[in-house]
Structure 1
Amino acid sequence: MNPTPLRSITIVGGGSAGWMTALYLNRYLNHDAPRCDITLVESEDIGIIGVGEATVHSIRFFFAAMGLDEAELMRECCATYKTGILFRNWMAPKEGSTHQYFHPFEEQRVPGVLDLASTWLSGGQTDQMRYDQAASLGSRLMQQGLGPKTPTSPPWQGVVPYGYHLDAVLMGRYLRKKAIEAGVGHVVGTVDRIEHEGERITALYCQQQRFQSDLFIDCSGFRRLLLSPLRQDNWQSFEDALPCNRAVALQLPYQPGVSPRPYTTATALENGWIWEIDLQNRRGNGYVYDGNRLTEAEAEARLREFLGEPEQGKAVHLKMNIGCVKSFWVGNCVAIGLSGGFIEPLESTGLHLINLSVRLLATHLNCAEPDQSSKDSYNRLMNGIYDDLKRFIVLHYCLTDRQDTPFWQQAQRSVDHTPVLAQQLELWRHKVCEFMDLAGSFSTVFTDENYRYVLYGMDHLPQLPPQGAPAACRAALDQLHQRFDQVTLQALPHAEQLPN
Structure 2
Amino acid sequence: MEKELSRISRVVIVGGGTAGWLAASHLANKLKPLAENGVKVTLIESPNIPTIGVGEGTVPMMRNTLKDLGISETEFFKTCDATFKQGIKFVDWLDNPTPGQASYYHHLFDYPEISHFDVTPYWLKGLAGEKRSFADSVSQQGIVCDAELAPKLITTPEYEGITSYGYHLDANKFSALLTRNAVERHGVEHIQAHVEQVCLNDDGEIASVITKEAGEISGDFFVDCTGFDCLLLGKAMQVPFVDKSDVLFVDHALTIQIPYEKLDEVIPSYTISTAMEAGWVWDIGLLERRGVGHVYSSKYTSHEAAEQALRDYVGPAFDDYPTRLIKMNIGHREKFWHKNCVALGLAQGFVEPLEATGLLVFDATAKMLASQFPTHKENMAIVAKQFNQRIKLSWESVIDFVKLHYYLSRRDDNQFWLDNRKPETTPDTLLERLALWKTQLPNPLDFYSGYEIFKLENYLYVLYGMEFDTDIEALSHRYPDIDKAKQFFTAMENSAHALTKTLPSNRELVNKILKFGLQKI
Residues of 2 paired with 1:286 and 1:33: CA distance? 44
Shift of 1:354: 1.6
Corresponding residue number in structure 1 for 2:323:
315
Q: Is the CA contact (8 Å cut-off) linking 1:395 and 1:415 kept in structure 2?
A: no
Distance 1:216 1:94, change over 3 A: closer
1:72–1:393 distance in 2 versus 1, CA, 3 Å: same
Match of 2:383 among 369, 374, 379: 374
**1:449 Cα offset (Å):** 1.0
Amino acid at match of 1:253: P
Q: Is the 8 A contact 2:8 2:376 kept in 1?
A: yes
Which of residues 429, 437, 461 in structure 1 aligns to 2:469? Answer: 461
**Superposed, which structure 2 residues align to 1:138-177 within 5 Å?**
138-177=141-180
Q: CA shift at 1:304, angstroms?
A: 0.3
Match of 2:410 in 1: 401
Deviation sequence 1:18-40 (CA, Å, 0-9, x none) = 11111111111117714111111
C-alpha separation in 1, matches of 2:114 and 2:393 = 33
Whether 1:338 and 2:343 are equivalent positions in the alignment is no
Give the CA deviation at 1:108. Answer: 4.0
Which amino acid counterpart does residue 442 of structure 2 have in structure 1?
Answer: C
Q: Do the aligned partners of residues 328 and 316 (structure 1) sit closer, same or farther apart at CA in structure 2, a change above 3 Å counting?
A: same
Comparing 150-159 and 277-286, the one that deviates more: 150-159
- 2:96–2:410 Cα contact (<8 Å) kept: no
Matched, 1:203 2:208: yes
Q: Summarize the Cα distance change of 1:95–1:278 in structure 2 as closer, same or farther, 3 Å threshold.
A: closer
Q: Give the Å deviation of 1:468.
A: 4.1
| TM-superposition CA deviations, 1:395-442 (whole Å, max 9, x none) | 100001111110110111267431011011011111121212213252
Q: What's the offset of the Cα at 1:48?
A: 1.3
Cα distance change of structure 1 residues 415 and 363 upon mapping to structure 2, 3 Å threshold = farther
Q: 5+ unaligned residues in a row in structure 1: which ranges?
A: none
Q: How many Å separate the matches in 2 of 1:186 and 1:202?
A: 19
**Counterpart of 1:186 in structure 2: which amino acid?**
H
Distance 1:365 1:303, change over 3 A: same
1:478–1:187 Cα change, 3 Å: same
Query: What is the match of residue 262 of structure 1?
Result: 269
Once the two structures are superposed, residues 115-173 of structure 1 have per-residue CA deviations (whole angstroms, 9 ceiling, x without a partner) of 22112122345641110111112212101111111343211110121110000011011
Residue 3, structure 1, aligned to residue 11, structure 2? no
Query: Please, which of 105, 108, 113 is the counterpart of residue 109 of structure 2?
Result: 105
For residue 226 of structure 1, give the secondary structure of its aligned residue in structure 2: helix
CA shift digits 1:341-393 (9 cap, x unpaired): 00110000212212221222123322241331211111111111000000000
Find the aligned partners of 2:352 and 2:285 in 1 and give their Cα distance: 19
The residue number in structure 2 matching 1:37 is 40
Q: Is 2:494 the counterpart of 1:476?
A: no
Which of 351, 362, 365 is the equivalent residue of 2:370? 362
Label 1:271 to 1:401 Cα distance change in 2 as closer, same or farther (>3 A).
Answer: same
Match of 2:195 in 1: 191
Give the conservation status (yes or no) of the 8 Å contact 1:123–1:471. no
The match for 1:449 among 443, 457, 477 is: 457
Partner-residue secondary structure (3-state), 2:498: helix
Conserved in 2, the CA contact under 8 Å of 1:92 and 1:98?
A: no
Q: How does 1:28-107 map to 2 (within 5 A)?
A: 28-30=30-32, 33-34=35-36, 35-92=38-95, 97-107=101-111
Shift of 1:114: 5.2
| Distance in 2 (alpha carbons) for counterparts of 1:354 and 1:447 | 18
**1:488 pairs with 2:495:** no
Q: Which has the larger displacement, 81-90 or 287-296? A: 287-296
Q: What is the CA distance between 1:300 and its match in structure 2?
A: 1.2
Alpha-carbon distance change, 8 to 488 in structure 1, aligned in 2, over 3 angstroms = same
- Paired with 2:239 and 2:189, the residues of 1 have a C-alpha distance of 33
The CA deviation at 1:460 is 0.3
In 1, Cα distance between the equivalents of 2:105 and 2:480?
26
Q: CA deviation at 1:44?
A: 1.8
Aligned to 1:284: 291
The answer on whether the counterparts of 1:146 and 1:493 sit within 8 Å (CA) in structure 2 is yes
Are 1:412 and 2:416 matched, yes or no?
no
CA displacement at 1:331 relative to structure 2: 1.4
- Displacement of 1:259 in angstroms is 2.0
- State the AA in 1 paired with 2:334: K
Correspondence 1:426-437 to 2 at 5 A? 426-437=435-446
8 Å CA contact 1:247–1:320 kept in 2: the answer is: yes
Matched AA of 2:421: Q
The aligned residue for residue 517 of structure 2 is none
* Alignment length (residue pairs): 498
Aligned to 2:17: 15
Report the AA paired with residue 113 of structure 2. R
Q: Does 1:220 align with 2:226?
A: yes
TM-score w.r.t. structure 1 length? Answer: 0.95
Secondary structure in structure 1 of the residue aligned to 2:191: strand
1:387 aligns with 2:382: no
- Structure 1 window deviating more from structure 2 (135-144 vs 291-300): it is 291-300
C-alpha separation in 2, matches of 1:439 and 1:226: 33
Mean alpha-carbon deviation: is it higher for 456-465 or for 378-387? 456-465
Question: Which deviates the most, 128-137 or 304-313?
Answer: 304-313
User: Which residue, 254, 261, 278 being the options, matches 1:248?
Assistant: 254
Q: Does 1:424 align with 2:427?
A: no
1:272-313 CA-to-partner distances (Å, cap 9, x unmatched) read 000000000000000000022223222111100121136231
In the aligned structure 2, how far is the partner of 1:472 from the partner of 1:433? 21
Judging changes above 3 Å, is the alpha-carbon distance between structure 1 residues 458 and 108 closer, same or farther for their aligned structure 2 residues? Answer: closer
- Report the RMSD for the aligned CA atoms in angstroms: 2.1
Q: Distance in 2 between matches of 1:441 and 1:21?
A: 21
The 2-side partners of 1:47 and 1:371 are apart by 33
CA pair 94-333 structure 1, distance change in 2 beyond 3 A: closer
CA contact (8 A) 1:242 1:414 kept: no
- Residues 492 and 479 of structure 1, relative CA distance in 2, 3 Å threshold: same
Q: TM-score, length-normalised on structure 2? A: 0.91
Structure 2: where are the runs of 5+ without partners? 515-521
